[in-house]
Amino acid sequence: MKLGAIEAGGTKFVCAVGNEYGEVFEKTTIPTESPQITMPKVYDFFAGKGVERMGIGSFGPIDLDENGDSYGTIQKTPKIDWVDFPLAGEIRKNLGVPVVVDTDVNVAALSESQWGNAKDADSCLYITVGTGVGAGAVVNGTTLKGLSHPEMGHIVVKRHENDEFTGICPYHGDCLEGMASGPAIEKRWGKAGKDLSGDPAVWEMEAHYLAQALVSYIYILSPERIVMGGGVMQQEHLFGLIRKNVMDMLGGYVSSPKLDADHINEYIVPPGLTNEAGIKGALALAKK
Ligand code: ADP
Ligand code: ZN
């Protein structure tokens, strides 16, 4: 079956034609400007290609209530041109195909669980640590959503004893994203994360925040695998620090062999899919 996939991000829309096996036949990248400029280019790319269904992994917040009138409508985003834009509805109208939409992080979790580093697990949590911090989850092949979509990047975290940084989340100040995103690292230390590789204090503090978040996710969701991606996780040494902090913070409370010193390396892992995770996940979504 020919499927369409869109990875709708804050800086670019990646559009692709592929199939239910995650194979990508053709792909293009369109800059994210206003909907009036960007969307006609999206419709042009897909026109006449015989796509039967469309999957979209989108930046958010976005309405995911399949039974509501505003399914797939962008909500209160800082990208004001896109506020209230009915992304799924307009695509359905212009291309005449059913559209399935989910958050970018849920789609990444779906992709990892179908084709990436969580394909042997029944549930998986995907967290990105980049410009923002966000996480999505898949349980038995289905992404997690409800009232809205999860906002796991904005949980409360306990401050590190040496940290006086006030945080940069416009809504909460010192929530997880406010303390641990790429821009938070840059603001706190006066340099971008990639230029701080050799400074252990930076990464010890970063691991303190991210490990607290993982411990909360483990307690609440009990995922069988945690995949960590995004620009900040390019610091590969961070994985070891996070795994150690997670084990210390759990204090042996959750009994699972997956969480012991011999197996934690296979529990908290980098992504298995790099460039095409978003697009492949959107294809997986489209086939549902
Ligand atoms: P986005 O979240 O916008 O999709 P990324 O996942 O690439 O994009 O995240 C960008 C953030 O990651 C920036 O704040 C950047 O400083 C940070 N970052 C990128 N590369 C590295 C690196 N090698 N080490 C630490 N931080 C990095
Ligand atoms: Zn916040």
CA of 261 to the centre of ligand 1 (A): 29
> Rg (Cα) of the chain, in Å, rounded?
19
- 61 residue type, one letter: P
CA–CA distance, 212 with 3 (Å, rounded to integer): 39
pLDDT of residue 238: 98
User: How many Cα atoms sit within 13 Å of 32 on the Cβ side?
Assistant: 16
pLDDT of the residue at 264: 97
Asked if residue 130 has its Cβ within 6 Å of ligand 1, the reply is yes
pLDDT at 6: 98
Measured in Å, residue 277 CA sits from the centre of ligand 2 at 25
Atom of ligand 1 nearest to the CA of 235: 24
What separation in angstroms does the CA of 64 have from each of 56, 68, 81, 266?
A: 11, 8, 20, 32
Report whether residue 32 contacts ligand 1, using a CB cutoff of 6 Å. Answer: no
3-state secondary structure of 29: strand
Q: What is the C-alpha separation between 284 and 233, in angstroms, rounded?
A: 25
**Local structure of 126: helix, strand or coil:** strand
Q: Which residues of the chain form beta strands (DSSP E)?
A: 3-8, 12-18, 24-31, 53-58, 99-103, 123-129, 133-139, 142-143, 226-229, 268-269
Candidate of 194, 241, 274 to mutate for ligand 1, largest count of ligand atoms within 8 Å of Cβ: 194
Peptide bond into 61 cis (omega under 30): yes
pLDDT of amino acid 274 = 83
Please list, in sequence order, all residues whose beta carbon lies within 8 angstroms of the beta carbon of residue 217, skipping any fewer than 6 positions away. 125, 127, 135, 152, 223, 226
- β-bridge mates for residue 6, sequence order: 15, 56
Identify which of 232, 234, 241 to mutate to test ligand 1's pocket (most ligand atoms within 8 A of the CB).
232
> CA 262, 263, 264: angle at the middle one, nearest 5?
110
User: Using an 8 Å Cβ cutoff, are 279 and 7 in contact?
Assistant: yes
Cross-strand partners of 86? 73
Q: What is the predicted pLDDT for the residue at 148?
A: 84
Instruction: Please give the chain's pLDDT, 288 residues, in tens.
Output: 999 999 999 889 999 999 999 999 999 999 999 999 999 999 999 999 999 999 999 998 999 999 999 999 999 887 899 999 999 999 999 999 999 999 999 999 999 999 999 999 999 999 999 999 999 999 999 999 988 889 999 999 999 999 999 999 999 999 999 999 999 999 999 999 999 999 999 999 999 999 999 999 999 999 999 999 999 999 999 999 999 999 999 999 998 999 999 999 999 999 999 878 899 999 999 997
Domains and CATH numbers, the chain: 3-106+276-287 (3.30.420.40), 118-271 (3.30.420.40)
Strand partners, 5: 16, 55
Predicted TM-score of the model (pTM):
0.94
Closest CA to 55 of 113, 94, 104, 10: 104
